[in-house]
Structure 1
């Protein structure tokens, strides 16, 4: 046997290994378009925020960022897809409190590991839930809503963007806190649920502010209260739940960027720097996020990881109290 063959193979393997090392993979990145995958359809809050992030990230990186909607299973379909993608910095996930906190408590089994399969890069925004009702519902405020629900058990149908989403869990949690019964109607995204709310086919939603502010402004729906600690400039005149007697009802969604585990550290560091600059003081995303009713978030990857751990505990308690469970 020719002894030079194993040597050539060894040299070739060494060269490939060198090219495939994390530092080598990070050099020259990005050299082609990046995909930002999100787990909800077009038209909803996740889509609005994802497109804002993609637009600013493309400008910062000098490379196009394509937003890809892979809706379904409370974001699990998108999360699994990204978890199984090559860890080369060209496939990213716009994750949520669902994909990386609540779903672990909601689902008996996840098709991905929220911790082991991802690298948290940076949070970008948080968004409170807001209780909106169809204009035909004979209530003017939260007190009237609760009184109507108690007098008419399960007559109020509240829509959501899907089982296990923050919109669903907010409604389930409010049922517990207010001592009322309502029927949950899940949709494939917020947009179709909101269409039915405006048409009067359902009575209420605990929607996220960016997804419904236009309908509030136009009079298509009536806003009763927002689940934030302070009033939101994007929905002026709408009180907080704390102001109307439910101070513990503070809930909403958050969004952050994740990469598959094993993504080169230089790529993660570059993305973290760019995203933190966008959402930090004076950042290019701050005013746009505030305009649509979102609150900018900025943190290092390490701080984001700690935040996710705390959120996992918090949402597990929300799921426990609400009694929600998905197979």
Structure 2
């Protein structure tokens, strides 16, 4: 059995995706399904899970057909598959069908070990979806995310991303994708190398990053989304003071870019940040910005001891920002 990376795994009569890291397993399966569709858009896709994983299920979907049409067969939970299906797969490995791509996903554990040994002896390609634990491996993961997007990033920026979001690989991938999108230049311009300053501007710590997400939704006037994000942050134990501070920073930055002659140098911010904020500012007026800044100042005063319920103060501030945006 030869190990292959999820982003380079190729279609084969049988492929094993083995490990508990959901993000890598899902990406491998998605890539293989896409490759099957690209090879033949008429490929039949079968998911052998739940009731579809009964006795004879694999034989039914993988048996040779008169027209030899291609089939993509997925067993998404091999570690908990019925014994009958496991035994059927063991027999199938001896003589797989050339028009069938069988993808087996085993999410860890000892169950099915005999089948795993059979697959290994047969030389079936294996995607290792083991958890990424070492900081160095997580940094390599992030670097690969940017390399595939054909973007350059400083090693210090990679380390900063891992420091802020390294506990969850899916979150690390999501923030990397957001950073790539946020720093993508206009057509015809060269993409800048992403620096640690860019990373800190986007993340600003985990709590502040959540607060910036609340601020982004509020600035766009998406009250329901902003309140939902705020509720999630509060349930996770986020303190009201840094939440207000982060939202205040975002609102002040939005106000600054509306000033005459504003430039990246005069404001001390990257080009891409000024460009994004300027685009957001088009939906605001001086009056609506002033109303929002007043709401932020009031909330800041209340969460620092002047109010009875800091959580309500933050919620009221978010609603005021959303309503000011919509009122203009």
Same fold (TM over 0.5): no
The one of the two structures with greater contact order (alpha-carbon pairs below 8 A, sep at least 6) is 1
The higher radius of gyration belongs to 2
Q: Normalising to structure 2: TM-score of the pair?
A: 0.23
Instruction: Indicate the structure with greater helix content.
Output: 2
Q: Normalising to structure 1: TM-score of the pair?
A: 0.23
